[in-house]
Amino acid sequence: MTRGNAAQVKVHFKGKEDDFVIFVDSIQAVKDWKNDKSVPLAQVVSGWKVFCTHKQGTQGILDGASNSALENEFGTHNEEEVVKKILEQGDVQSTEESGRQGDRNITSGPSIAQGY
């Protein structure tokens, strides 16, 4: 897992019933695939997982899309066919992660009970 200022590129597909998201390697990889369909999808998609956001756009909680959700939206639950449709019809978005988040040192401060 990358830490720091790593770009995260995803493709968002707004469906009739739900919103779907897949992660891709880069914007350029998606453009190359759209221009030349002989490029293997494995060089475009970052992990073979289709996520749904329960109508929360790209910012919602990402849950793995069920076969029935894929079947209802795309007419198939074959992930390769679904990924192709999302790549063709979805919106590519890139976000910049700003490093790690969370508590840095929980041994000092109000989150630790002081035993006096």
* pLDDT the model gives residue 1: 45
27-43: pLDDT as tens digits: 999 999 999 989 899 89
- Domain residue ranges of the chain, discontinuous segments joined by +: 9-94
Residues of the chain with pLDDT under 50: 1
Q: How far apart are CA 66 and CA 10, in angstroms?
A: 19
* pLDDT the model gives residue 23: 93
Look at phi and psi of residue 56 and say left if phi exceeds 0, alpha if psi is from -120 to 50, else beta.
Answer: alpha
104: helix, coil or strand? coil
Give the CATH fold of the 9-94 domain: 3.30.1250
Closest C-alpha to 49, from 23, 16, 69, 87: 23
* pLDDT the model gives residue 66: 92
The phi and psi torsions of 82 (rounded to 5 degrees) equal -65, -45
